């Protein structure tokens, strides 16, 4: 079962430049945050009601850098039993009684060392059901300046990357496989590919939060070897 929350409206217009054709870094950061907040506020997100699935939250953490905004992405530790070495967003299973947002902030802190309060949460994207039995809820958060120390959790994270949004805001590649009706989605990143669910969530984030497009991604698949 799915349920929709919020109201859907049109695309958000782009911000205007200063009269001299340039923005200061601070003003640019403020406008970017306001744009993301406005786009998420009018997005009609789809929530999935499946108590039989493992409930999880993931954090899409936007940070400021002098060269432009970034998103925190991790490479999973090689010692992990499942999906070792793969690209991922900070996240994991929610504790009993823990809210969607609190779980995303906790996982972000535990996996990257970035500690944020509730006011950093900008909004939620669609729930995504994985082939491995998880119901993932993406939480968009504003992480501030990208100059703090990042600390990878050694048992879970091999490395943390601050990836420019421009490198992620690209058209994905789609493949057809005989095992599934929906297309397999993948995003190129640093000589490798990001697969679903991470690729699907990042794609929706870019389209919804950055561009104001109400794109759905629940039907996008991962390769068969990642279904377990």
Query: Each residue of 48-82: pLDDT tens digit?
Result: 999 999 999 999 999 988 778 999 999 876 555 55
In a domain, 3, yes or no: no
**Residue 89 pLDDT exceeds 90:** yes
**Residue 216 pLDDT exceeds 50:** yes
In a domain, 95, yes or no: yes
| Per-residue pLDDT at 66 | 79
Q: Domain of 177: which CATH number?
A: 3.90.79.10
Give the chain as a 3 state SS string.
CEEEECCCCCCCCCCCCCCCCCCCHHHHHHHHHHHHHHHHHCCCEEEECCCCCEEEEEEEEEEECCCCCEEEEEEECCCCCCCCCCEECCEEECCCCCCHHHHHHHHHHHHHCCCCCHHHEEEECCCEECCCCEEEEEEEEEEEECCCCCCCCCCCEEEEEEEEHHHHCCCCEEECCCCCCCCEEEEEECCEEEECCHHHHHHHHHHHHHCCCCCCCCCCECCHHHCC
| Per-residue pLDDT at 13 | 34
Structural domain for 50, as ranges: 23-226
When pLDDT is cut at 50, 70 and 90, the band that residue 8 belongs to is very low
In a domain, 15, yes or no: no
In a domain, 7, yes or no: no
pLDDT tens, position by position, 134-165: 999 999 999 988 777 788 877 778 889 999 99
Structurally, the chain folds into a number of domains equal to 1
In a domain, 118, yes or no: yes
């Amino acid at each position: 079962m799915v349920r929709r929350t919020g109201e859907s409206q049109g695309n958000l217009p782009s911000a205007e430049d200063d009269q001299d054709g340039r923005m200061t870094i601070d003003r640019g950061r403020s406008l970017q945050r306001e744009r993301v907040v406005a786009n998420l506020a009018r997005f009609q997100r789809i929530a999935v009601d499946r108590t039989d699935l493992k409930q999880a939250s993931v954090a899409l953490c936007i940070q400021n850098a002098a060269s432009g905004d970034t998103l925190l992405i991790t490479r999973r530790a090689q010692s992990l039993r499942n999906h070792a070495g793969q690209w991922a967003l900070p996240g994991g299973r929610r504790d009993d009684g823990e809210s969607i947002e609190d779980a995303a902030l906790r996982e972000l802190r535990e996996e990257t060392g970035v500690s944020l309060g509730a006011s950093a949460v900008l909004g939620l994207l669609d729930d995504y059901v994985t082939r491995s039995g998880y119901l993932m809820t993406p939480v968009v958060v504003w992480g501030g300046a990208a100059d703090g120390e990042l600390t990878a959790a050694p048992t879970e994270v091999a490395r943390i990357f601050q990836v420019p949004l421009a490198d992620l805001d690209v058209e994905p590649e789609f493949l057809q496989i005989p095992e599934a009706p929906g297309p397999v989605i993948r995003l190129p990143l640093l000589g490798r590919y990001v697969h679903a669910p991470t690729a699907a969530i990042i794609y929706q984030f870019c389209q919804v939060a950055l561009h104001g497009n109400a794109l759905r991604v629940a039907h996008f698949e991962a390769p068969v070897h990642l279904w377990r």
